[in-house]
Homo-oligomer: A and B are copies of this chain.
Amino acid sequence: MPPAETSAEAVDVTALLERGRTLSTPVLRAAVDRLAPPMDTVAAYHFGWIDALGNPADGDGGKAVRPALALLSAEAAGAPPETGVPGAVAVELVHNFSLLHDDLMDGDEQRRHRDTVWKVHGPAQAILVGDALFALAGEVLLELGTVEAGRATRRLTRASRALIDGQAQDISYEHRERVTVEECLEMEGNKTGALLACASSIGAVLGGADDRTADSLERFGHHLGLAFQAIDDVLGIWGDPEATGKQTWSDLRQRKKSLPVVAALAAGGSASEELGELLAADAKSNDFDSFSETEFAVRAALIEAAGGREWTNQEARRQHTVAIEALNSVDMPERVRAQLTALADFVVVRKR
C-alpha cells in the first residue's frame, strides 16, 4: 500500500494552486513590466494588478490551474518545480493574449467582475497588448537559450494556433442555426483543451522529457481541458452569479451554443423539440435583449428536461476518466501523480 501522502484524497489542492501562483506571478509581472508604456499599464489592468485609475488592486487573477499544472509537469519529468516556471508564465501570457482579443471580437464587456480592456482602454490597446503578450510568451521561453526551450516554444505555438482556430470556429458557429455535439467538442478542444494540454506538458519538456512522455501529458491536459470546459458550460447556465462573476443564465443571454444546449437539441423528444423552436424564434427576435429572467429560466428548464445538463456533467466525467488514463500511462513519481490526479479531480467538482 502506498504511503498516505501519495493518494489524491490527501493532496492539498489549494496549496498546489497557491504554489503555482506564488512561483509564477513575480516572473509574469517582471515580463509584463518590459512592455513600453502605456501597454504595461493596460496589461497590469487586465491582470487585475491595478484598477482603471491606476491604483494598486488585488484583483481576481483566476484559479491558476495552468501554472499549477506546468510546475507539476516539470516534477513529473523528475525536474524541480522551478523548471516549469518559464513554461507557466508563457502559457499564462498566451492565455491572456487570447482573452484580450476574444473579449474584443465577442464584444464582451465584463471579465472577472471588471470591465474588459477594450471597454476601458479602447480596441487598439486590446489588440496591441494582446499582440505584445503573445510575443512575450515566446521571448520568456526562448531566452532560456536551450534546445528544450525551442521544443517547448514549438508546442506552445501549436497550442496557440489551436486557440485561434477554436475562436474562429466559435465565431462561425454563432451565425449558424445548428451545431453538432462533435463540432462543439472540437471547438472546445481547441479553445480550452489545447492550452491545458500545453500547460500539462511544458514543464516536462523544459525538464528534458522525451516526446512520447510530453505527448501523453498533453493528452492528459487536453481531456482535462475538455472536462474543465464541460463544467464551465454547466456553470455558464446554472452557475451562481456570486461565485462565477457572471450574470444569471450568462451563456443563454449570449446565445452560446455550448454543450448543454447542443446536447439538448440533439437529444430528440418533446423538450428538445420545444427548445429548438424557441431558440430558432429567439435567433430572429428583435426583443431578445429585453428578455426577462423568466424567459431565460424557461429555456434553461427545457435544456435540463431534454437531458442537456446531465449529459454535459457525464461528459465531464468521461473526459476526466480519459485524462486519468493518459496520466497513468506516464512513468512518474507517485507523489506527483497523486497531485496531478487531485488537481484533475478538483477541476470537475469546482463551483466557479
Contacts and interface: CB of A to CB of B under 8 A. Distances in A.
Interface of A: 36, 38-39, 97, 101, 104-105, 123-124, 127-128, 130-132, 134-136, 138-139, 142-143, 145, 147, 149-150, 153-154, 157-158, 160-161, 164-165, 167-169, 171-172
A105 B128 contact: yes
Contacts of A132: 161, 164-165
Nearest to A148: B150
28 contacts: A38-B168, A39-B164, A39-B165, A97-B131, A104-B127, A105-B127, A105-B128, A124-B171, A128-B167, A128-B168, A128-B171, A131-B134, A131-B160, A132-B161, A132-B164, A134-B134, A134-B135, A135-B157, A135-B161, A138-B154, A139-B157, A142-B150, A142-B157, A145-B154, A147-B150, A149-B150, A150-B153, A153-B153
Contacts of A158: 139
Contacts of A149: 150
A154 B143 contact: yes
- Could you say how many copies of this chain the assembly holds? 2
Smallest CB-CB A-B distances: 5 pairs: A150-B150, A142-B154, A138-B157, A105-B124, A135-B160
A131 B101 CA distance: 9
Nearest to A100: B127
Nearest to A98: B131
B105 A164 contact: no
A161 B147 contact: no
A297 to B, nearest CB: 31
Contacts of A168: 36, 38-39, 128
Nearest to A154: B142
B38 A172 contact: yes
Contacts of A169: 36
A241 B174 CA distance: 41
A158 B97 CA distance: 17
A171 to B, nearest CB: 6
Contact of A164 (B38, B131, B171): B131
Contacts of A167: 128
